[in-house]
A and B are shown apart, each in its own frame.
Chain A
């Protein structure tokens, strides 16, 4: 079955420390993957998509086909990065729709 796994429900780091939020997928081929973020009291919103190879708010994510992973990384975490992060691959087919992982709650401590 096509699915994504976020193995960590909670992740706590100190400000300035590197952070990596893990996401593994079980798709074949080259899936398009996304990271969504939900800050406290805000809407769920797109953080970044791997296809654009962009860096948003210092975060990057590389698709590793060998490990079937799409981990989200940031070299120096900030307190404002504290949020819920969801890895989201599409359900394959002509109709584009996203399924979400269970999410990782990141807490960046001062």
Chain B
């Protein structure tokens, strides 16, 4: 079974530039999550999708962050404009629905450095 795929693995940009991250979840997983992990901290949930609908985006800084999952499969997370404090690893995870196992399957992450 293929795991969660993310790209790019690394990205370096200057502040005020924009960046986009892509995620392909495990086939058949209806729930998709984006987490932000700042160095030395645990992952923080940014947004959760159920199929192509947003379930929770309460911690997403909507003035600069946006995410979409148009066809209920792949997802993109965009930051525009980036700030220094956005430097972090952006993790995508997916899980199947209807099973309260709570197991999330994570991608390898996209490491963003904002200079």
Contacts and interface: CB of A to CB of B under 8 A. Distances in A.
A44 interface: yes
Interface residues of B, number: 27
Nearest to B100: A96
B48 A103 contact: no
B102 A90 contact: yes
A71 B106 CA distance: 23
B107 interface: yes
A34 B95 CA distance: 15
**Could you say which interface size class chain A belongs to?**
20 to 34
B86 interface: no
B102 A98 contact: yes
Interface of A: 9, 32, 34, 36, 43-46, 49, 86, 88, 90, 95-103
16 contacts: A36-B104, A43-B109, A44-B91, A45-B106, A46-B104, A49-B103, A96-B31, A96-B100, A97-B48, A97-B56, A98-B45, A98-B104, A99-B45, A100-B44, A102-B41, A103-B41
